[in-house]
Amino acid sequence: IRYNLIFERFLNPERVSMPDFDVDFCYERRQEVIDYVNRKYGADHVAQIVTFGTMAARNAIRDVGRVMGMPYQSVDVVAKQVPMELKMTLKRALEVSPELKRMYDSDPQVTELIDTALKVEGMPRHASTHAAGVVITPEPTDYYLPLATNDGLPVTQFNMTEIEELGLLKMDFLGLRTLTVIRDAEAAIQKKDPSFSIRKLDYDDAATYKMLGQGETEGVFQLESSGMKQVLVGLQPQNLEDVIALISLYRPGPMDSIPTYLRNRHEPDKISYKTPQLAHILDVTNGCIVYQEQVMQIFRELAGFSFGQADNVRRAMSKKKHAVMEAEREHFVHGCTEPGHECPGCVANGISEEVANEIYDEMSSFASYAFNKSHAACYAYVAFQTAYLK
């Protein structure tokens, strides 16, 4: 409530797909959470999710070489010609590695090796357990899913995507090292001051913001990079809203608006709003659109959309679904009378057609970058705790 987070960004009656539950726990105690879920819902209602390891370029060569009975040494020489890069394929390796191409063209055994490897590349090679995914079901899991065992524990035979398609609820229980560090620091402080509790921090503590403003952030969650330090020094954060905004802005895409954000912060008279109704939505981010939630608020307050409709348009914008966006532009500007989608539109609320279209364009170009404020707020919360402890 304090940070104006919108619950409907997460779940609303008009949402079609299930939201993602990503929950971070201290990594040493993550298993306790899984044990708790097993006790609470019944072990037969809980399963971890399978993930399939696929044959990457080098693996495919090694596996095929083993089957062809080639000596390990000679297969190894060929495999090592495949560059170690993310998403490297055999087809691309033949284009970028002259040595591999030479072997392929001159040695018939290597030709056969690579041709066969091309056929199996990308196929599932083995099953393992997804690092964090857990599925919890109303009926026992085997009512919905085929199961298998992995290290003696039940896992689903369907992967994450298929589980979502079945409409089942996937939870990600992630282990986060920072939470373990916070717990250890709290325990260390309590030896000297038993009354200390991380739950009672003052999130307006001036000394902590002063330290952040000096860029002394080694060890501070999410704020450690050299670029982030420069922005912290430029901004001089005063409160948690500032930290939330930085975490949202400091990523590819939104970074382009950091200079405007900083300028508006230090020269508030340079901030201008296309219409006065935007002021109380964007003042918290110095006149810039930063969050998905702000996009939703603009739809809601300027054009009278419901939160559910607003979230659907936001999603269409972030996925660049142009047909949906053009239909909704009309609703945003002039309103809509279709049952279930009624909204007055901007013009009825005293905003000119031209301005309404400008605002819509700005949101469209920005929505694919906009960040989920609730997500950033959780990160900022943890960032502040680590900074305070430091």
The full DSSP string for 22-51 is EEEEETTSHHHHHHHHHHHH-GGGEEEEEE
Same domain assignment for residues 118 and 132: no
C-alpha 147/C-alpha 154 separation (Å) is 6
Does pLDDT of 111 surpass 90?
A: yes
Position 15 confidence tier, pLDDT thresholds 50, 70, 90? confident
More confident residue, 369 or 113: 113
Same domain assignment for residues 345 and 287: yes
The reply to whether 240 falls in a domain is: no
Position 333 confidence tier, pLDDT thresholds 50, 70, 90? very high
Number of domains in the chain: 3
Question: pLDDT tens across 74-108, in order?
Answer: 999 999 999 988 888 999 999 999 999 999 999 99
C-alpha 144/C-alpha 255 separation (Å) is 44
The reply to whether 224 falls in a domain is: no
Alpha carbon 182 to its chain centroid, in Å, reads: 23
Rounded-to-10 torsion of CA 59, 60, 63, 68: -150
The reply to whether 210 falls in a domain is: no
Does pLDDT of 302 surpass 90?
A: yes
Tell me, what's the pLDDT at 157?
94
Report, in this order, helix, strand and coil percent for the chain, each rounded to 5: 55, 10, 30
Same domain assignment for residues 290 and 170: no
C-alpha 154/C-alpha 120 separation (Å) is 28
Longest dimension (CA), the chain: 78
Domain that holds residue 91: 56-122
Tell me, what's the pLDDT at 177?
94
Tell me, what's the pLDDT at 330?
93
Average confidence (pLDDT) over 301-323: 88
Does pLDDT of 291 surpass 80?
A: yes
Buried-exposed string 186-203: b where 16+ CB fall within 10 A, e elsewhere: eeeeeeeeeebeeeeeee
Average confidence (pLDDT) over 158-167: 89
Average confidence (pLDDT) over 116-140: 90
Position 339 confidence tier, pLDDT thresholds 50, 70, 90? confident
Same domain assignment for residues 62 and 169: no
The reply to whether 104 falls in a domain is: yes
Q: Which helix (H) or strand (E) holds 166?
A: none
The reply to whether 190 falls in a domain is: no
More confident residue, 207 or 314: 207
Average confidence (pLDDT) over 378-382: 95
Residue listed under structure tokens 């054009």: 303
Tell me, what's the pLDDT at 369?
82
The sheet carrying 147-150 orders its strands as 21-26, 169-176, 124-136, 46-54, 153-156, 147-150
Mean pLDDT of the residues in the chain = 92
* Among the ranges given (23-27, 109-113, 252-256), the one the predictor scored with the smallest mean pLDDT: 252-256
Domain boundary among 96, 122, 148: 122
Average confidence (pLDDT) over 376-380: 95
Same domain assignment for residues 27 and 133: yes
Given the DSSP bridges, would you call strands 169-176 and 124-136 parallel, antiparallel or unpaired? Answer: antiparallel
Does pLDDT of 321 surpass 90?
A: no
Does pLDDT of 370 surpass 90?
A: no
Same domain assignment for residues 153 and 130: yes
Q: Which residues contact 98 (CB under 8 A, 6 or more apart)?
A: none
Tell me, what's the pLDDT at 95?
92
Does pLDDT of 17 surpass 80?
A: no
Per the rule left: phi > 0, alpha: psi between -120 and 50, beta: everything else, 380 is alpha
Q: What is the CATH number of the domain that holds 12?
A: 3.30.1900.20
Average confidence (pLDDT) over 269-284: 92
Please name the amino acid found at residue 141. Answer: T
Tell me, what's the pLDDT at 254?
83
Same domain assignment for residues 111 and 86: yes
The reply to whether 215 falls in a domain is: no
Q: What is the CATH number of the domain that holds 82?
A: 1.10.10.1600
The pTM of this model reads 0.79
Q: Taking a C-beta distance cutoff of 8 angstroms, is the pair 50, 129 a contact?
A: yes
Same domain assignment for residues 31 and 78: no
